[in-house]
C-alpha cells in the first residue's frame, strides 16, 4: 500500500458538507483506505480573489491505486459532486488535489507530484501539518510554514 495526501477545498454552498461527502466517497473506492482528515480551515481565496472564502482540509489515505488512477478517482468524485471548471482558480463545489504520493515524483500534462504549489499555500500547509505533526513530513511542512511571508 502507498500513502497519499490529498487537499480539499470548497466555496460554493455548504463547503463543510461537500468536503465530508468527498471524504465519504473516497471510502467507497476499492483500493483506497482513508486514514485521517484534518479539521476544516476557513481561508481567503488564492489567485482569483473575487469569490467567497474557502473551507479547506487535508487527508491521509493508503492506496493500492497508481497516482494516475487516484487522480482519476478524485476527478470523478469532483464531477459527481457537481464541480464545473469555469474560471481558473475560481469558485468550486469541491476541489480535490493529490498533494503527495509515497515520495514519488511526476511531471506530466495530467499530474505533477508533489503538487507544484503546495509549499507556497498556507491553506494547504496548515491542515497538512495538523495530520503529519511529529513525523518527518510534518517537520518539513512546519519548516515550509515558517518560511511563508506573514499574512
- The owner of cell 457537481 is 82
> Using CA atoms, how far apart are residues 99 and 116, in angstroms rounded to an integer?
8
Residue 141 vs residues 17, 24, 43, 58, 73: alpha-carbon distances, Å: 27, 26, 18, 13, 26
Q: How many residues does the chain have?
A: 151
Tell how strand 32-37 and strand 2-10 pair up.
unpaired
| Residues acting as catalytic residues | 83, 92, 95, 97
Do the beta carbons of residue 99 and residue 131 sit within 8 Å? no
Amino acid at each position: 500500500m502507498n500513502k497519499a495526501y490529498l487537499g480539499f477545498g470548497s466555496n460554493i454552498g455548504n463547503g463543510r458538507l461537500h468536503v465530508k461527502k468527498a471524504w465519504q466517497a473516497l471510502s467507497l473506492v476499492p483500493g483506497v483506505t482513508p486514514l485521517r482528515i484534518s479539521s476544516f480551515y476557513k481561508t481567503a481565496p488564492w489567485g482569483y480573489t473575487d469569490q467567497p472564502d474557502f473551507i479547506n482540509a487535508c487527508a491521509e489515505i493508503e492506496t493500492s491505486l497508481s497516482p494516475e488512477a487516484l487522480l482519476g478517482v478524485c476527478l470523478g468524485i469532483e464531477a459527481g459532486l457537481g464541480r464545473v471548471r469555469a474560471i481558473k482558480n475560481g469558485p468550486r463545489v469541491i476541489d480535490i488535489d493529490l498533494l503527495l504520493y509515497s515520495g514519488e515524483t511526476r511531471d506530466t500534462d495530467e499530474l505533477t507530484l508533489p503538487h507544484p504549489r503546495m509549499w507556497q499555500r498556507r491553506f494547504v500547509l496548515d491542515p497538512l501539518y495538523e495530520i503529519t505533526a511529529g513525523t518527518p513530513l510534518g517537520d518539513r511542512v512546519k519548516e515550509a510554514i515558517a518560511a511563508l511571508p506573514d499574512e
